[in-house]
Amino acid sequence: MSTAGIIGEEIDRQATLVSAALQDVADASADPSARHELPRAIFGMLAPYSAALYFAERVVQSNVFNVELVQALHSKLLPLERMAD
């Protein structure tokens, strides 16, 4: 598998983790008895988001930079950015 494919798979994995963690944040926010879980849920969302962003930045700075790969990364990271906002 190419480096781009490996990076794409890792970003997909991180995006899945972010989505699951975002649901944990929503659950903790909605349930007053679970509010103590909110900081951990937020951290659980930010860690994989940061990892995905790190991989995307490495791709942009690498020698394998190409338009298709950047567009694919952007399309995967944009929903995560919206979630983080």
Q: Which of the pair, 44 or 84, is modelled with greater confidence?
A: 44
Has residue 3 got a pLDDT over 70? Answer: no
Is residue 20 within 8 Å of 57, Cβ to Cβ?
no
Percentage of residues in the chain having pLDDT higher than 70: 84
N residues, the chain? 85
Q: What is the 3-state composition of the chain as percent helix, strand, coil, each rounded to the nearest 5?
A: 90, 0, 10
Has residue 4 got a pLDDT over 70? Answer: no
pLDDT tens for 14-46 read 778 877 887 887 887 788 887 777 788 777 777
Q: At what angle do helices 67-84 and 3-30 cross, to 10 degrees?
A: 10
Is residue 25 within 8 Å of 38, Cβ to Cβ?
yes
Residue 1: which pLDDT band, with cuts at 50, 70 and 90?
low
pTM of the model: 0.58
